[in-house]
Structures are given as C-alpha cells and as structure tokens.
A = this chain, B = another copy of it.
Amino acid sequence: MRVLITGANGFLGRALTQRLLADGVLRGQAIDTLILLDKTLSGFADDPRLRLHPVSVTEPALLRRALADGVDVVFHLISIPGGAAEQDYAVGYQVNLLASLELLQQLRAMQHAPVFVYASSVAVYGGELPARMDERQPARPELSYGAHKLMVETALADLTRRGEVDGRALRLPGIVARPREPNGLRSAFMSDLMHAVAAGQAYRCPVSAQATAWWMSARCCVDNLLHAAELNDPGTQRVWQLPVLQLSINQVLDALLSTYGQERRELIEFCPDAGLEALFGRLPPLRTPHARALGFRHDGNALALVRNALLPAARVRRIRALTETAGAPQP
C-alpha cells in the first residue's frame, strides 16, 4: 500500500502523517510507503516508510517523479488558504486549481484508479446562505479559493464517473486549533481564540460573542479523511459535506473556560469586524443526513471539540475513559 499526502507539512498534513504512521494500515493493507509532498518538509520522524519530496506541487515533472512507483491512495490537502489566494490570485490559481488538475491527469494515466481523498471546503457555498441549510445546498463561491475548490470537485467527480480515479471530496469547515502563526486564513480567529484561552493570554476577538461558525477539530478531521479513504464503493455521488458543529463563539468560550478556568473570561475582548462577521459569523445550522449515514462525524459537542483540538491524544483518551467509567452521556 503506497500513500501520498500533498501539503504534508501543513497543519492537517502533519496530523494525518502521524496518524498513518501510527496506524500502519489503510484499507486493510499495511502501508509500505508514505510519500510526503510539500514545498518544505521539516521535523518528520526518521521512519523507513517515509519518502520526502520537498518540491512544489506546481512542477509537473517533480510531481511525476513523486508518483513514479505508483500510488494507491492520495490525500490531496495542499492549498493556498482563502485570504491569501484572494490577495495573490496567481498563486492560488497555480496551486489550488492547476496543480490539482495536473495531479488528477497524472493519476488517471495509472493502471489502477487510485483512491483520491480531496480536502474541499465550505467556501464553495459563498456567503449568501439560507437560515437553515443542508448538504444539498447549491455551491455559489464568492472567493477564488472556493471557486477553485468547486472546479476541482467537478473534475474529480467526472474522472470518478469515468472510472479513472476513485474520488472522495470532503467539504471541510473551519479546522481548529491551527498553530498561531500568519497563515492567510480569514477564519484564523477560530483557532487563535482557543490558543489564547488555553495559554491564559489576552485576545481581541474580531467577531462578536454571538457569531456562529462551523467547527471541527483536526483530530476529528483526520478521522473523517481516513474514513473517506476506507469507504468501499460509496455510491456515485462523491462530494460530501462533512457534519459540522455549529457553535457560537460564546458556546466555544464556555467550553474553553470550563476546561481552563472561568477567570480567563476577562482576557477576551470583542471588537467585531463587520466583513469577517458576515463571512464567518452567520453560519446557519447545517444538516448532513447523507454524510452521517455514510459514517462521517463531527466532534460531538463543544467540550469534546475543545479537548480534541487542544489536548494531546493520550490525555483525550484518558478523559474519555474516565467519562465512560462515570457513565456520562457520550456525544
């Protein structure tokens, strides 16, 4: 079993790499080779299964070299985030659109159609959402990032129909808690708030306490990416909206304070930015019965989101065990 991760150096890519190395198995087969591709690759374990390709995904020849010995499962995570892609259109066009199309073209030439898990985004819906929505909501992107994600979804669905790639596209919500560094994501505040409370630092929140967003921890997201790869013959419709936790900033803050201490509430100041609030602060309830029936999941509740997002895996397992012993209701 040969697996490729593009964007392996990123937030999700690193979490997925760790998980695959730890699991050692995918689709019932041992992972012999895990090919990591990203512009830079640093700090990965010295594991004989790893093949590092510290190259740009926008170079077709280098991409071809990474795929030279074949690949069974691809996790295509690399992308220029929404805010950055909007500012530097050309870079977003090259990475988010053209490189994805080129990768698909190279994969369709392979002897066996590889499983292709694509990290798409709720950005495909754009900003004008109904008061309640479900997973069949038509896409109407309002950022180049979302437009390019939608185009790659369309290309992937077409090649899947043709039997040339076995595509599975997941529309991801805001994933937390990303490292606190400039990352070009306009939704960075979702992670920054969590880190600030966890670290006991002051934070000016750029949306109101009532702002509602869609949340998922990286741990839960990796579960869903793996689940997408594991599914056998999941039908003809291959673009899935992941279940999300629709929570207000207040609900997340309450969960953070009950974990880290109520006195930290005074560290948070609200200075809402109207534009940001319109984009990320008015997200309606989102029903996903089809994705749930297929086995995709969100974190469960705000407390589980906080612990999945911020605590080390070992500690989360311990908390889960304790909660189960105490007979507390499960998410």
Contact = CB atoms under 8 A, between A and B. Distances in A.
A89 B138 contact: no
Interface in A81-110: 89, 93, 97-98, 101, 105
A160 to B, nearest CB: 11
B162 A142 contact: no
Given A93-B105, A105-B93, A162-B89, A147 B157 contact: yes
Q: Which applies to chain A's interface (DSSP): helix, strand, loop or mixed?
A: helix
A79 interface: no
Interface in A122-166: 136, 138, 141-142, 144, 147-148, 150-151, 154-155, 157-158, 161-162
A155 B147 contact: yes
Contacts of A148: 158
A162 B142 CA distance: 9
A151 B142 CA distance: 15
Interface in A283-326: none
Contact of A155 (B136, B138, B151, B161): B151
A161 B138 contact: no
Q: For this complex, into which size category does the number of interface residues on chain A fall?
A: 20 to 34
A158 B154 contact: no
A184 B273 CA distance: 53
Contact of A158 (B136, B141, B161): B141
Contacts of A147: 154-155, 157-158
Interface of A: 89, 93, 97-98, 101, 105, 136, 138, 141-142, 144, 147-148, 150-151, 154-155, 157-158, 161-162
